[in-house]
Structure 1
């Protein structure tokens, strides 16, 4: 009988964690999300990057044209389009690395201005400035500065982006 009670308690605890604690977003979760995102970008792991988007992911308000470094993300993109863009960007960086005989790398900076957590702690809207530079140690190919609001949720302990609203983006290319 005590084994059954122990099993029921263990399952109850696991269920509570998964459905309650495992679905609450914190400010630390938001900060860790962006660190992990850029680490995966640096590693060229487009699959892991795509796994950081919810299936319902939508981004709005930006057209990115990465001449020689990938593709185009339309003014509104779903998860599939965002992932295709990331694959193209990473593939473009790899091709440039091979062409130049040296690594093409990213340099990122994130300034989180605000993290607004919903009253039920099921989502957080992160407002911030995001800078992405792509190039070699000697040469910068692209610099992108973006201001955005990104909504994050947590499902089963994993933080996911559900949408990104870009309020301002400046992109500079260098030949």
Structure 2
């Protein structure tokens, strides 16, 4: 029995959480507000939705810098409510471009539009992913850029297909 349990746990020991995309729902809950109308002097009660989850700003955070590799965190948020369901599929790296003694890394957050209606309390999604990049010989600076890439979007949407949301320069 112990051997069976050990064999079932072995695949989990080899898993690396480093490249795992973490997605968290941004939730809102109703709250009652009492206001006084300045014209009539009457008090008015109304219900509004207040966001209760912290919304992550799009940023690239440097976690660690070693001799031959850097580790950084890519994080941000995407709005999704009403008749616009936007889901984060993955974060992908396009090939690194080396220009002299610098490297440019371009990460694309793939956002997919799904037809339908989002839940009433959902306001969007936070996403984060930790990345490690092995630095080639002779490189002195690394430029990291993060773009939102809308794979498909609503026909009347004013969102661009590709948008730069964060950038970071790491000097070695």
**Superposition TM-score tier, normalisation by shorter sequence:** under 0.3
Normalised TM-score (structure 1): 0.23
Judging by fraction of residues, say which structure has more strand: 2
Normalised TM-score (structure 2): 0.23
